[in-house]
Amino acid sequence: MDISQTISNTAIENQCESGVSAGGTSFSVAPMMEITDRYCRRFHRMLSSHGVLYSEMITAAAVVHGDRNYLLEFDTAELPVVLQLGGSDAGLMAESAAIGEQFGYSAVNINCGCPSDRVRNGRFGACLMAEPELVAECLIAMQASVSIPVTVKCRIGIDRDDSFEPFERFVRVVADAGCNKFIVHARKAWLDGLSPKENRTVPPLKYEYVDQIKSLYPDKQFILNGGLLSHEQAIANSRTIDGVMLGREVCSNPWMLNDVDHLYYGKAQNTRTRFEVVEACYPHIEKHLSQGTSLGKLMKPMLGLFHAQPGGRLWRRILSETMWLEGAGLHTVQRALDAVRQAAEDVQRATKPDIPGHGDAGNLPESRHSNG
């Protein structure tokens, strides 16, 4: 399989513009700080050719005033990729969106959902749910500066107000300004009293709010996010909306991306094994190691690849203990993979019934025992 395979620009634009797959429901991986960097996205693209990927949130000020190449460069094989921006200054947001388009991002997303103190103090993230007019101002300025879609990721509300009306008003004001796509984390955000981690689990999920808002604005796209732990659950809860977005579960079990193209985009089921995916990553790993990237950065997204598989804990332990060490390289990955392969063979040997006249070694692949 050609690991450099990319989706055509036309297909990318159409997919990001519509957000809807051939089957009617799109799939995307959530933007996550210190997780969905270029190395993570490159690995995720190895598992799904069509799912939409997101950058980490990057502040508009950092894009405009900081090291743009460091912040924004990515491999075109990652496409489609959406750049998520944080900010509330319409001028900076417009300028950073234009820069993102120049770097080749497929769309730009405004962060109106992050509840952290640092984000709130910068007047962006979930606190913007209380200022829909300001979000609308930013959106209008950004749309005027780019030709790619500008979308919004938000919560269903903030703090003590559990009612639907403030959420509906936020969507109405921003939609009237020209937003056609909302990614909704179906929990409110507590801006005081809960940590960002607690805000991902403590406020109750209200998927019905997303269904209700879609019924009021059927011409807009709504993507469901929050609390989705499997494809079965995601598909069951997205029958009336336009797509789903998963985050932490993909980090824990990235192999679930291997089913995305088949389940959401009507493509043939992937038949690759986890071992084949790791080996297909070798050229990518060698390339970045030669450029000075640490093995830890490259392999961190792959730690959960053998989740719930024989040798999965061994894979994670070997890499976690060695991938950040000086001198760690491709041989480190190969050692970990060999250990998993051996563990899988041990399980196969232990569970295979004895056949008279046949030893265990004779039932294993010949390539493992060809040297006696």
The mean per-residue pLDDT over the stretch 149-167 comes to 94
Q: Which residue has the tokens 């990553």?
A: 281
Q: Return the percentage of the chain with pLDDT > 70, whole number.
A: 87
Which pLDDT score is estimated for 24? 65
In angstroms, the CA 199 to CA 201 distance is 6
The mean per-residue pLDDT over the stretch 305-334 comes to 97
Which pLDDT score is estimated for 294? 97
CA angle (245, 250, 252) in 5-degree steps: 145
Considering the chain, what is the average pLDDT of its residues? 89
Is the pLDDT confidence value at 361 over 50?
Answer: no
pLDDT classification of 195: cutoffs 50, 70, 90: confident
- pTM confidence score: 0.87
For residue 189, the cross-strand partners are 158
Task: Give me the domains of the chain, ranges plus CATH numbers.
Answer: 9-265 (3.20.20.70), 274-352+361-368 (1.20.120.1460)
pLDDT classification of 194: cutoffs 50, 70, 90: confident
In angstroms, the CA 303 to CA 315 distance is 7
pLDDT digits (tens, 9 = 90+) for 5-33: 333 333 333 444 434 444 468 999 999 99
In angstroms, the CA 319 to CA 335 distance is 9
For residue 108, the cross-strand partners are 83, 150
Q: Tell me, what DSSP letter sits at residue 366?
A: G
Q: Closest Cα to residue 369, out of 340, 342, 330?
A: 342
**Half-sphere exposure (Cβ direction) of 35: Cα atoms closer than 13 Å:** 18
Q: Tell me, what DSSP letter sits at residue 202?
A: S
In angstroms, the CA 150 to CA 178 distance is 9
**CA dihedral angle for residue 299, residue 300, residue 302, residue 303, rounded to 10 degrees:** 120
Tokens of 17: 């513009």
Evaluate whether 314 touches 343 at the Cβ level (below 8 Å).
yes
Burial classification of residue 330, based on how many CB atoms lie within 10 Å of its CB (0-12 exposed, 13-18 middle, 19 or more buried) = middle
Q: Report, as residue numbers or ranges, the catalytic residues.
A: 114
Evaluate whether 210 touches 237 at the Cβ level (below 8 Å).
no
pLDDT digits (tens, 9 = 90+) for 254-311: 999 999 999 999 999 999 999 999 999 999 999 999 999 999 999 999 999 999 999 9
The Cβ of residue 64 has, within 10 Å, a number of other Cβ atoms equal to: 18
Which DSSP string do the residues of 26-71 spell out, in sequence order? EEEEPP-TTTSSHHHHHHHHHH-SSSBEEEEEEEHHHHHHS-HHHH
Is the pLDDT confidence value at 342 over 50?
Answer: yes
CA angle (55, 58, 60) in 5-degree steps: 135
Helix, strand or coil for residue 185?
Answer: strand
In angstroms, the CA 39 to CA 288 distance is 9
**Half-sphere exposure (Cβ direction) of 299: Cα atoms closer than 13 Å:** 30
Tokens of 3: 């690991």
